[in-house]
Amino acid sequence: MSILITGFGQIITFKKADAPLRGKDMRDINIIKRGAILIGGKKILAIGKESEVKRHKLSKNAKHIKMRGVALPGFVDSHTHSIFAEPRLKDFSLRVSGASYQEIKTAGGGIISSINAVRKQNPAEMERQLLERAKKFLECGTTTAEVKTGYGLDFKSEIKMLQVIKNASLKTSLEMPATLLSAHCVPPEFKGDTKKYLEFIMAEILPFAARKRLAAFVDIFCEKGYFSAKESLKYLFHAKQYGFIGKIHAEQLSNSGGIAAGASAGAISADHADYANLSDIKVAKQTGMVLTLLPASNFYLGINKYPNARKMIASGAAVALATDFNPGTSPCLNMQEVLSLACINMGMTPEESIVAATINGAYALNMADRIGSIEVGKQADIAIFDAEDYREISYYFGGNLNLMTIKKGRIVYKKMR
Ligand code: NIG
Ligand code: FE
Report CA(325)–ligand 2 centroid distance (Å).
7
Structure pTM?
0.98
Choice from 82, 106, 232, 249 to test ligand 1 binding pocket (greatest atom count within 8 A of CB): 249
Asked whether the CA dihedral 400, 404, 407, 412 is positive or negative, the reply is positive
Q: Which ligand is nearest to the CA of 184?
A: 1
Taking the CA of residue 111 as reference, the ligand 1 atom at the shortest distance is: 10
Structure letter (DSSP) for residue 190: G
* pLDDT (tens digit per residue) in 104-114: 999 999 999 99
With a 6 Å cutoff on the Cβ, whether 105 touches ligand 1 is: no
What share of the chain in percent tops pLDDT 70?
A: 100
pLDDT confidence of residue 343: 98
Closest-CA residue, ligand 1 atom 3, reads 221
With a 6 Å cutoff on the Cβ, whether 82 touches ligand 1 is: no
Choice from 274, 326, 332 to test ligand 1 binding pocket (greatest atom count within 8 A of CB): 326
pLDDT of residue 248 exceeding 80, the answer is yes
* pLDDT (tens digit per residue) in 114-139: 999 999 999 999 999 999 999 999 99
pLDDT of residue 232 exceeding 80, the answer is yes
* Average confidence (pLDDT) over 21-42: 98
Taking the CA of residue 253 as reference, the ligand 1 atom at the shortest distance is: 2
Distance of alpha carbon 52 from alpha carbon 72, whole angstroms = 19
Choice from 111, 113, 227 to test ligand 1 binding pocket (greatest atom count within 8 A of CB): 111
* pLDDT (tens digit per residue) in 394-404: 999 999 999 99
Structure letter (DSSP) for residue 47: E
When pLDDT is cut at 50, 70 and 90, the band that residue 91 belongs to is: very high
Domain boundaries, the chain: 2-73+373-414, 75-364
* Average confidence (pLDDT) over 52-75: 97
- 191 CB neighbour count, 10 Å cutoff: 9
With a 6 Å cutoff on the Cβ, whether 322 touches ligand 1 is: no
pLDDT confidence of residue 366: 98
pLDDT confidence of residue 1: 83
Q: Which residues contact 116 (CB under 8 A, 6 or more apart)?
A: none
With a 6 Å cutoff on the Cβ, whether 252 touches ligand 1 is: yes
With a 6 Å cutoff on the Cβ, whether 221 touches ligand 1 is: yes
The burial of 205, by beta-carbon neighbours within 10 Å (0-12 exposed, 13-18 middle, 19 or more buried), is given as buried
The whole-angstrom distance between residue 9's C-alpha and the CA centroid of its chain comes to 27
With a 6 Å cutoff on the Cβ, whether 327 touches ligand 1 is: yes
With a 6 Å cutoff on the Cβ, whether 13 touches ligand 1 is: no
With a 6 Å cutoff on the Cβ, whether 324 touches ligand 1 is: yes
Distance of alpha carbon 342 from alpha carbon 335, whole angstroms = 10
CATH of the structural domain 2-73+373-414, one choice from 2.40.50.100, 2.30.40.10, 1.20.1050.10, 3.30.70.3450: 2.30.40.10
Choice from 221, 300, 325 to test ligand 1 binding pocket (greatest atom count within 8 A of CB): 221
Strands (E), 67-210: 70-73, 75-77, 142-145, 147-148, 178-183
Q: Which ligand is nearest to the CA of 247?
A: 2
Report CA(414)–ligand 1 centroid distance (Å).
32
Distance of alpha carbon 164 from alpha carbon 289, whole angstroms = 29
Report CA(413)–ligand 1 centroid distance (Å).
29
Q: Which ligand is nearest to the CA of 146?
A: 2
* pLDDT (tens digit per residue) in 137-196: 999 999 999 999 999 999 999 999 999 999 999 999 999 999 999 999 999 999 999 999
Secondary structure class of 180 (helix, strand, coil):
strand
* Average confidence (pLDDT) over 51-71: 96
Q: Which ligand is nearest to the CA of 327?
A: 1
Report CA(80)–ligand 2 centroid distance (Å).
6
Asked if 399 contacts 30 with a C-beta cutoff of 8 angstroms, the reply is no
Nearest to 173 by CA among 405, 416, 414, 415: 405
With a 6 Å cutoff on the Cβ, whether 150 touches ligand 1 is: no
Q: pLDDT averaged over the chain?
A: 97
Q: How is domain 75-364 classified at the CATH fold level?
A: TIM Barrel (3.20.20)
pLDDT confidence of residue 417: 74
Report CA(294)–ligand 2 centroid distance (Å).
8
